[in-house]
Amino acid sequence: MLRRPRYQPELEQMVEHSATTAAHSAAGEWSVVGEVLAFVARLLSGASARWIDSQPDICQRVYFANHTSHLDAIVLWSSLPFEVRYLTRPVAAKDYWEKSALRQYMTKSFNALLIDRKHIKVHQSPVDLMIREIGDTYSLLVFPEGHRGSDENVGEFKSGLYYLSKKRPDLELIPVYIDNLNRVLPRGEFLPVPLLSRITFGPPIWLETGESKNDFLSRARESVLRLKEH
């Protein structure tokens, strides 16, 4: 099983300082707007974050979660500590988030990576775009179901997470279970209803050597479902 390499203390401090500097640089002029959005998202969702056998870290990761609401991306992003948050790019559907000037403004504030689901090019696949955009600095926040499901069920995962892991096996994969957000912003509603929700982060997984696509996606999905019981 692949593991993140252990740095010497001096090198680890240099990496942390570099990443922290990058976080503040990435925030830039959008930091104030982003923090306001993060505060409002936490306030409306009442989201509490729990970490089970993992901790917040500035290392490059892929946070993958179940998807039940349009609020998922911003609430999950806002639940991360500041230094981690501004090194993490939520992956979102371009066709939804570019429908209005307000949505476009919001995506810039939390540095979202917009994916065109309708016009996928052979030499510009979503996975290739993600790998290019994160470089050796950013983490990603993805929803492998590819569409919104229900709070009671987590749909089958699309293949993107597998190919992302295959091309970047060094990335830690952190399962996340989002509970109750579909009731904060029910399908078809515009205004959120203030309720309590919970974000649970689980232990990291990696693509195993020789593991098939179906086996990996099934294991990744199960790692999210297990968090529902905690």
Domain extents for the chain? 9-227
Q: Flag whether pLDDT at 182 surpasses 60.
A: no
Q: Residues 44, 49, 50, CA angle at the centre, nearest 5°?
A: 155
Residue 115 pLDDT level (bands cut at 50, 70, 90): confident
Mean pLDDT of the residues in the chain? 79
Residue 56 pLDDT level (bands cut at 50, 70, 90): very high
Q: Flag whether pLDDT at 200 surpasses 90.
A: yes
Residue 70 pLDDT level (bands cut at 50, 70, 90): confident
The number of beta carbons lying within 10 Å of the beta carbon of residue 215 is 13
Residue 65 pLDDT level (bands cut at 50, 70, 90): very high
CATH number (3.40.1130.10, 3.90.1150.10, 3.20.20.60, 3.40.50.1370) of 9-227 reads 3.40.1130.10
Strand partners, 115: 93
